[in-house]
Structure 1
Amino acid sequence: MTGTDKTLLLYAPVPIYASEQGYLLEDQACNGLRLWAENFDRVIVMFPVRHGAAPPSWIPINSSKIDLQRVEIVGLPTAYRLDHFVRHYSATRRKISELIDRARYLSFAIGGLVGDWGAVAALEAHKKKRPFAVWADRVESEVAREASRSGKTAKVRLKAALAHRPMAMLERNVIRKATLGLFHGAETHAAYARYAQKAEIVHDIHLSEHDRIPSEALASKLADAQQGILRLCYVGRADTMKGPMDWIQAMKALRDRGVEFHATWLGDGEELPAMRAEVQRQGLGECVALPGFVRDRPLILETLRQAHALVFCHKTPESPRNLIEALVSGAPIVGYDSPFPRDLIAAHGGGVLTPLNDVHALVDSLASLATDRNRLVQLIQRAAKDGEPFNDVAVFKHRSEVIHAHL
């Protein structure tokens, strides 16, 4: 039995935290719930629940301006350990089954292995012969495969080595059973579309039109880019898959070539201490800043708007939103080539892409922009044009229309 109204059931792996204020949810995820509610009569969302101190960007759902008369939050156990997953499996599957019966539209985020309630929900929907969509914003099995080679400890590498193949099998099995695959960006689409009955490239961003670089700020940036030091940045977690040590290596090589620049990496992560140690060891403190986590959204946007380029060294198949944020801010994207950035700048060429893991080629591109300021100015203009299609209202409306059409 399906819901008679236009009720959407979602599973999202972002955790909610139990607190005295009620549930806490990441601020961008709260924005996503508001946007889903604009496109469906009711929304039911399943999240894994965690306890303890929430990260800084988690806010009380009760004060998030979500219409809780139409958006229902359902907590599921966090069960990424096998013994926890086994213990909670039967009861959680029954709860998911009941929620499926209450909704007309079904869409489940997948990614992982043990504790992946999105995959459990998808298989339960298939058992009930219900059409459903699966959502993925990165190729989780490839992230695990990379961790099997580059994990910081032997335990991490062994766990990833044992997990990545069965993880890939589960991903493909669930996608084949889905009516619709919703894949964030060309990178994820390229990896998964072959297994899907119907596959769509969609985007998941939380930038409003207000966040777009104003025309007067863009004009000032274009004038400023014609001279002075090169301003570079990156915004995101300092994780191995983001290539942070390649990034530091590129900054060192750029300094050694005599290029005047200042580079900032905004974001926390397990690799941040190693990055800071390498900056100190190489004497890069005057030209490289690593402030760590920054919650101040206006400061993040201002950093992107001031940057002449966002430099990235992504190593695994994913579709990181920071590249879209850079384009919306008029910052060209300069980094390792892959389907996602290639698709983002296909229309106007607002970036420079170099071979994967080739730090030397990346440095060549940056050094060339430092000396050829006319090209840099043109690249900034093109980046702003490539960012024009992206805002949160538009991308959530598009994804909702695809769900309405196919489910």
Structure 2
Amino acid sequence: MIEENDTLLLYAPVPLYSSDNGYLLEDQACNGLRLWAENFKHVIVMFPVQHGVAPPSWIPLRSAQVDFEHVEVVALPTAYRIDQFLRHQAAIRRQIRELIDRARYLSFSIGGLIGDWGAIAAMEAHRKKRRFAVWTDRVESEVVREQVHSGKTFKKRRMAALTHWPMAMLERALIRRATVGLFHGAETYAAYEPYANAAEIVHDIHLSEKDRIPPMELAKKKSAATQGPLRICYVGRADAMKGPTDWVQVMVELNKKGVEFQATWLGDGEALPAMRAEVTRQGMEDRVKLPGFVKDRTVLLETLRRSHILVFCHKTPESPRNLIEALVSGTPIVGYDSHFPRDLIASHGGGVLTTPNDIGALVATLEALAHDRVRLCTLIDRATLDGEPFNDVAVFKHRSEVIRAHL
């Protein structure tokens, strides 16, 4: 029998890294632990463990200011290969069943196939006839399906062709069995809502109120936007799903049209070498900067605040947080139309959306804004208004309230 407690059990696919000084976890995931603990008396979070060198944004859990009297971290083996999964699944199923019995509220991140412990947890909760939520921030099967054509190697393309459809079937089966689907942004909501018993749009961001652009800085930004080069940015991974090839081509076409601009893409990824090569081939190194990964979030926010526009060319159905970060920075979002950005700017119109994959339409929009600075300044004001509802405390409180209401 489930005890009347206030314990939340979560699965998150963010990997823990094992080190001599204990576990390392992504800095934003550490912030998530703190915020969950503000909304539940006890939180148990399952993470997969990886070995080796952690990425730069991973920090020691010991120094993350997490209250471990109220937060319990459970390390599960990484098992994305079939042999690993078969070796571990029986023991991990038993462990997950025991954790489910300890918790009143259950919410599991899903979005994989082999070795997705969130999917296994959802299955075990269903077998126990427990109410549970599933959460996802992108349509993972569609991301994989895109790799059928964009994969860098034949092996990756073949694997994507074999797995994207079973992955989609698993996603839908889990969502149908869940009490509620928690979908980050309108893009994932639109894709998954037809299969859900109940569905809610939620957000998962890690911007505090102090990260919002201050009024005086906003006024200076608008004044600077009335003249000079159009300042363009993008912040995110240089992967095929983000449309980096389209983004660079947009800059090439703007340059050909004689538009004065300065563009920066902050982020590393498989496509970055090809992006740099094309910029060099076009002789645009003075206009387009591709510095790669930047760990310092202060630099990221300064780049967003300084920019007049965030230009995006997203290819797959997801709900990227960088669009919210731009709005909170008073930066209009301009790029390919889809459910997520359309929903973000529905209230005040803090951006311009163009036909997906139509580079010419996006170039024309940017050229028009470069020559109409009054409209650009209006968009900056509207973007600031569209960004007002978003901060980490508010969105985690909202998701916690949704979990309590449904479960």
TM-score between the two structures when normalised by the length of structure 2: 0.99
- The equivalent residue for 2:347 is 347
**CA–CA distance in structure 1, aligned partners of residues 391 and 287 of structure 2:** 33
- The equivalent residue for 2:6 is 6
* Superposition pairs of residues 142-221 of structure 1, within 5 angstroms: 142-221=142-221
**1:105-155 per-position Cα deviation (integer Å, ceiling 9, x unaligned):** 000000010111100000100000000000000000000110111111111
Q: Which runs of 4+ in 1 moved over 4 A?
A: none
* Superposition pairs of residues 337-376 of structure 1, within 5 angstroms: 337-376=337-376
Contact kept, 8 Å, 1:2 with 1:100, in 2: the verdict is no
SS in 2 for 1:38: helix
Contact kept, 8 Å, 1:323 with 1:341, in 2: the verdict is yes
Deviates more, 1:24-33 or 1:277-286: 277-286
- The equivalent residue for 1:47 is 47
- The equivalent residue for 2:239 is 239
Shift of 1:21: 1.2
Shift of 1:305: 0.3
**CA–CA distance in structure 2, aligned partners of residues 365 and 117 of structure 1:** 44
Shift of 1:20: 1.1
Shift of 1:283: 1.0
* RMSD (Å) for aligned C-alpha atoms: 0.5
- The equivalent residue for 1:67 is 67
Residue 257 in structure 1 maps to residue 267 in structure 2: no
SS in 2 for 1:189: helix
**1:191-225 per-position Cα deviation (integer Å, ceiling 9, x unaligned):** 00110111000000000000000000000111111
Shift of 1:286: 0.8
Shift of 1:325: 0.1
Residue 309 in structure 1 maps to residue 304 in structure 2: no
Amino acid in the other structure paired with 1:58: W
- The equivalent residue for 1:34 is 34
- The equivalent residue for 1:134 is 134
- The equivalent residue for 2:381 is 381
SS in 1 for 2:39: coil
- The equivalent residue for 2:86 is 86
Amino acid in the other structure paired with 1:290: L
**1:314-353 per-position Cα deviation (integer Å, ceiling 9, x unaligned):** 0000000000000000000000000000000000000010
**CA–CA distance in structure 1, aligned partners of residues 305 and 112 of structure 2:** 35
Shift of 1:71: 0.3
SS in 2 for 1:170: helix
Shift of 1:4: 2.6
- The equivalent residue for 1:19 is 19
Amino acid in the other structure paired with 1:18: S
5+ long unaligned stretches in structure 1: none
**CA–CA distance in structure 1, aligned partners of residues 373 and 160 of structure 2:** 44
Shift of 1:3: 3.7
Contact kept, 8 Å, 1:189 with 1:200, in 2: the verdict is yes
5+ long unaligned stretches in structure 2: none
- The equivalent residue for 1:399 is 399
Contact kept, 8 Å, 1:176 with 1:197, in 2: the verdict is yes
Shift of 1:2: 2.1
**CA–CA distance in structure 2, aligned partners of residues 250 and 86 of structure 1:** 47
Contact kept, 8 Å, 1:30 with 1:64, in 2: the verdict is yes
TM-score between the two structures when normalised by the length of structure 1: 0.99
Shift of 1:284: 1.2
**CA–CA distance in structure 2, aligned partners of residues 82 and 149 of structure 1:** 24
**CA–CA distance in structure 2, aligned partners of residues 321 and 21 of structure 1:** 31
* Superposition pairs of residues 285-304 of structure 1, within 5 angstroms: 285-304=285-304
**CA–CA distance in structure 1, aligned partners of residues 395 and 182 of structure 2:** 12
**CA–CA distance in structure 2, aligned partners of residues 117 and 278 of structure 1:** 40
SS in 2 for 1:396: helix
**CA–CA distance in structure 1, aligned partners of residues 390 and 401 of structure 2:** 16
- The equivalent residue for 1:274 is 274
Distance 1:3 1:237, change over 3 A: farther
Deviates more, 1:274-283 or 1:181-190: 274-283
**CA–CA distance in structure 2, aligned partners of residues 403 and 127 of structure 1:** 20
**CA–CA distance in structure 1, aligned partners of residues 96 and 231 of structure 2:** 49
**1:64-99 per-position Cα deviation (integer Å, ceiling 9, x unaligned):** 000011100001110111111111111111111110
**CA–CA distance in structure 2, aligned partners of residues 129 and 165 of structure 1:** 27
